[in-house]
Amino acid sequence: MKDFVIVIHGGAENKTRRDIGSDLEAAYRRGLEEALLVGWEILNSGGAAIDAVEAAVRTMENNYIFNAGKGGAYTEKYKNEFDASIMCGQTLKAGAVAGVQRVKNPINLAKTILDKSKHVLLTGEGAEEFALEHHLEFKPIEYFRTKKQLDELEKTKEEEKVKEFDTVGAVALDKNGNLAAATSTGGLVNQHNGRVGDTPIIGAGTYANNEVCAISCTGEGEGIMRAVVGHEVYALVKYLKMPIQEACQQAANVYKDKIEGDKNLIALDSQGTIGIYYETDLMFRAFKKGQQPHTVAIWED
């Protein structure tokens, strides 16, 4: 029996301690710890990695300080559009959803697609129809909206740009040696209506394979897609037998001359070795291995 492990992230940003402030930092730490322990409890009681990552990500979707579910970023047209995906390393089954607006927990919808659909990726109206058919919880659009995100949009519109915002994710290895990965996001601030990033793209923002590794990315989605970061980590570990940390670093830096934007990720290999790599000032992250004490971190130290 393997030592079980869970690693989560709440996104990566270029911000200093002063930018975030002590109150918000404390809220992030509490939010990360809560999500981590929800997933860890499932693994500790012999549950599956796929259920642990779903639960950890759902907990962050319910916490307005993270950019996923409640508190997600606004598009240029003042809408909230959510993407999520989940993958089981044992079966190589995956479920993904893009551009949903009223499903309370997009990660639950991605998991339902994995379990009950012959498709992998459903979008927009069709995805919401599928959610209704399977009795998933819906919320009015007001539920997802926060003043913090509205202020971010107004500021970004003034600067006439699109602002990168966080994604949340989790990777886990259960007692049976099964890997899983899950990722969820509210997208970019001021993104074009209908824009979809790397989060629901299997092999880009999310990937899991029992034989090799599990990965969840956050950062500049267009770049992560073009570099196929998740699959790049997988290939480096599988074919070059590269250690997971080194593979994360190399995958994030592939074609740097052609593909700009930061690429940040968490990963686990089949032995439960953790890989965490980020190019920003900080990454909201936490991990716990077996019965060892858990770690919650934001900055490099």
Q: Is residue 218 annotated as involved in ligand binding? A: yes
Phi and psi (nearest 5°) for 108? -65, -40
Give the span between the Cα atoms of 36 and 288, in whole angstroms: 8
Q: Is residue 81 annotated as involved in ligand binding? A: no
Q: Is residue 220 annotated as involved in ligand binding? A: yes
Residue of 206, 204, 221 lying closest to 162 (CA atoms): 221
Residue of 59, 51, 61 lying closest to 82 (CA atoms): 61
Q: Is residue 97 annotated as involved in ligand binding? A: no
Q: Is residue 99 annotated as involved in ligand binding? A: no
Q: Is residue 197 annotated as involved in ligand binding? A: yes
Instruction: Please give the DSSP secondary-structure letter assigned to residue 170.
Output: E
Residues taking part in catalysis: 167
Q: Is residue 91 annotated as involved in ligand binding? A: no
Give the span between the Cα atoms of 219 and 150, in whole angstroms: 21
Phi and psi (nearest 5°) for 99? 70, 30
For the beta carbon of residue 88, count every other beta carbon within 10 angstroms.
Answer: 25
3-state helix, strand, coil in the chain (%, to 5): 35, 25, 40
Q: Are 96 and 84 in contact (CB under 8 A)?
A: yes
Q: Are 252 and 277 in contact (CB under 8 A)?
A: yes
Binding positions for substrate are: 195-198, 218-221
Binding positions are: 195-198, 218-221
